[in-house]
């Protein structure tokens, strides 16, 4: 067991937390109206607040958040990464940066990864399952994956929350879970996780629907009618290499399939704080369920709280520099 911060015993390291850079009121109104048009009926425009975030972190026992935000335009994405880096620089023991990458343009993604690593001191990277129409399994992304593999990078995979509504239901409700499964299975068929073992992929929301559907893929993935077939062993090897977080999914319904697929030791804590669809009430209900639902033993739950420190060593070092080290913060 690696050493951890004694002052952090029982607290959380959150891999799934969002931020948005400051913007003018008319821009927030435009984004809100676009959400209303997609059937996401938020009562008012969303505005991320540093003060409110720190207050929630203190109240919930969250030691650090790994921040991510993935705008759809390159200029906005770069500016967002800059702002996220400033938050981490100003609060090095409270925030880490998962720099967004524009995965619809491989050369731009490589350039931004290099910039984020060398100039912004990013702790890892964040991508969406489908960015401007391009899925993560697209072969054009080979140069990016090769680079991140060489670095031994951690990559947080978030679904595309900008999907249109399905059956009049807003995409963040459940369509994002199917989008996640679609992307992960495509990457399994393409052997992405086998080809780039140096990358640690963290899949949001307990992996979406992919853990619950993995048995079906194991059974049918290599049938004669399936192009580019994949064997049950290949499915197991690739799926078990992934990590998943607990954002909006810290319930037996999601945790048990995830444990069967990736193992309890590949589950990390996520709150989804900072997303427009996350309230303090829903975040706390999710965190409370992680403690009380019974899917995890006390030891396993302790591991979920702090395992992210193993994935993001630079962030772990900043925490170590901030407080004395101890073995008490169980991972």
Per the DSSP assignment, residues forming a β-bridge with 185 are none
Region 33-55: mean pLDDT is 80
Q: Which of 81, 80, 127 is nearest to 105 (CA)?
A: 127
Q: Locate the domains of the chain by residue range.
A: 12-322
pTM of the predicted structure, to 2 decimals:
0.92
Mean pLDDT of the chain: 92
DSSP 8-state secondary structure symbol assigned to residue 163: P
Per the DSSP assignment, residues forming a β-bridge with 84 are none
With a pLDDT cut of 70, the percent of the chain lying above it is 92
Which two tokens mark 70? Answer: 């993935």
**Residue 2, pLDDT score:** 35
Mind giving me the DSSP string for 86-121? HHHHHSTTTEEEEEE--TTSHHHHHHHHHHHHHTS-
Q: Is the pLDDT of residue 108 over 50?
A: yes
SS (H, E, C) 49-86: CHHHHHHHHHHHCEEEEEEECCCCCHHHHHHHHHHHHH
Which two tokens mark 55? Answer: 């207050």
**Selected residue with higher pLDDT from 36 and 183:** 183
| Overall CATH class of domain 12-322 | alpha beta
pLDDT digits (tens, 9 = 90+) for 177-225: 999 999 999 999 999 999 999 999 999 999 999 999 999 999 999 999 9
Tell me how far CA of residue 283 lies from CA of 49, 56, 66, 287, in angstroms: 16, 10, 16, 6
Greatest C-alpha distance within the chain: 58
Which two tokens mark 224? Answer: 């004669």
Provide the pLDDT confidence category of residue 307 given band limits of 50, 70 and 90. very high
Q: What is the dihedral of CA 219, 234, 125, 173, to 10 degrees?
A: 0
């Amino acid at each position: 067991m690696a050493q951890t911060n004694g002052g952090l015993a029982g607290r959380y390291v959150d891999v799934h937390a969002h931020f948005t850079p400051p913007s003018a009121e008319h821009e927030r109104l435009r984004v809100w109206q676009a959400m209303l048009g997609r059937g996401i009926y938020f009562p008012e425009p969303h505005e991320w607040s540093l003060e409110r975030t720190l207050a929630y972190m203190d109240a919930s026992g969250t030691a650090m958040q790994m921040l991510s935000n993935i705008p759809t335009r390159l200029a906005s994405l770069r500016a967002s990464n800059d702002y996220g880096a400033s938050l981490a620089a100003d609060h090095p023991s409270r925030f880490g940066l998962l720099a967004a990458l524009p995965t619809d343009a491989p050369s731009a993604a490589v350039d931004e990864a290099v910039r984020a690593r060398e100039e912004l001191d990013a702790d890892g990277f964040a991508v969406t399952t489908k960015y401007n129409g391009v899925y993560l399994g697209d072969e054009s992304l080979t140069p990016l994956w090769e680079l991140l593999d060489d670095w031994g990078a951690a990559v947080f995979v978030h679904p595309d929350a900008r999907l249109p509504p399905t059956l009049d239901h807003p995409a963040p409700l459940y369509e994002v879970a199917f989008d996640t499964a679609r992307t992960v299975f495509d990457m399994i068929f393409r052997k992405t996780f086998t080809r780039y073992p140096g990358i640690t992929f963290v899949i949001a929301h307990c992996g979406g629907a992919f853990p619950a559907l993995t048995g079906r893929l194991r059974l049918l993935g290599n049938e004669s009618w399936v192009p580019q077939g994949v064997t049950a062993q290949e499915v197991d090897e690739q799926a078990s290499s992934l990590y998943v977080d607990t954002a909006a999914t810290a319930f037996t319904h999601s945790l048990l399939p995830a444990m069967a697929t990736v193992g309890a030791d590949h589950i990390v804590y996520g709150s989804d704080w900072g997303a427009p669809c996350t309230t303090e009430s829903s975040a706390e209900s999710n965190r409370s369920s992680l403690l009380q639902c019974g899917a995890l033993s006390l030891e396993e739950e302790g591991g979920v709280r702090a395992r992210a420190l193993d994935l993001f060593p630079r962030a772990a070092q900043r925490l170590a520099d901030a407080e004395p080290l101890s073995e008490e913060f169980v991972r």
